[in-house]
Amino acid sequence: MKSTTSDSRQANGCLSCGISENMGNRKYCSIKCRQRLRYKLDIRTGLLKALNAKYATFYFTEEVIIMDMLPYGSNEIFSYILPRSLGRKPAEDFSRMADILGNAWWEEKNRTKKSYLATRHVYQQAIKSNKSVRSVKPVENKIPAIEKTALLYLKLGRPDLNSIELKKTVKNAYRKQAKIHHPDHGGDTVSFRKIHAAYEQLIAWAENPTFIKRRGFPDKWFYDGNNSKWVQPTPL
């Protein structure tokens, strides 16, 4: 598996299988496709534990699948690259890669009776990469814990939440929408109530901002050894 490849992903393709037809702005062609790859990744976390992986990423191109790993106590990235199989999805190719690595680990373990020697043996089969540690260790993203619909009703975007005068921004947006949708101005009562509820929600958030912490990459599946689980690609 010692070969080289570019780090480019398939543009506008499903992040689980790569298909690009009729994708539009979707990240996955179907929920089932995303779940299939997640399942294949999750059932092989034992391999990553055996290899003492602190972080790992999985991604693919039309030609190959790639898994980059950073072991605990190391600043060096180890890359495993496997050619794609004709007619097979990345999930199936990942299973094949995991079988190859797992079998190599067990054969060496049975030969030497030493787990650490088996782990070293598998890492010796990897491509030693000059990639930065940040290529497998993502920066933590803080996402405002606010419903998207609240922003939509007031015609605001997430960047508006960074305003140093957020309350003023929200109030101005509310006044603008109220002039259009208030029943006294010929608007719809139900719509106005939703706009008012969105206004109250955003004002409350401005007074006490809360965030959801999320780690990951926009185009790669991410493994966190501390939690021993894979995380699907996540928007920045």
Q: What is the CATH number of domain 146-209?
A: 1.10.287
Question: Could you tell me the residue ranges of all domains in the chain?
Answer: 31-139+215-231, 146-209
The whole-angstrom distance between residue 230's C-alpha and the CA centroid of its chain comes to 9
* pLDDT, the chain, mean: 90
Global pTM reads: 0.74
* Choice among 22-26, 79-83, 218-222, 228-232 with the minimum mean pLDDT: 22-26
**pLDDT above 90 (res 200):** yes
At residue 6, the pLDDT reads: 41
Q: What is the pLDDT of residues 23-35, one digit of tens each?
A: 888 889 999 999 9
Whether the CB-CB separation of 137 and 56 falls below 8 Å is answered with: no
Distance CA 24, CA 21 (A): 8
Encoded tokens for 175:
């006044």
Over residues 205-218, the mean pLDDT reads 88
> Does 7 score more than 90 pLDDT?
no
Sequential DSSP letters for 129-153: E---GGGTSPPEEEEE---HHHHHH
pLDDT digits (tens, 9 = 90+) for 28-60: 999 999 999 999 999 999 999 999 999 999 999
Angle between helices 166-181 and 189-207 (to 10 degrees): 180
Please write the tens of the pLDDT for every residue from 148-185.
Answer: 899 999 999 988 998 899 999 999 999 999 999 988 88
CA distance 6 to 77: 15
Task: Identify the CA nearest to 69 among candidates 168, 59, 205.
Answer: 59
E-strand stretches of the chain: 53-60, 64-71, 77-83, 127-129, 140-144, 211-215, 221-224, 229-231
Give me the percent of the chain exceeding a pLDDT of 90: 69
- Give the residue among 236, 235, 233 at the shortest CA–CA distance from 41: 233
Q: In the Cβ-directed half-sphere of 209, how many Cα atoms lie within 13 Å?
A: 13
How far apart are alpha carbons 180 and 191 in whole angstroms? 10
Q: Which two tokens stand for residue 116?
A: 């650490």
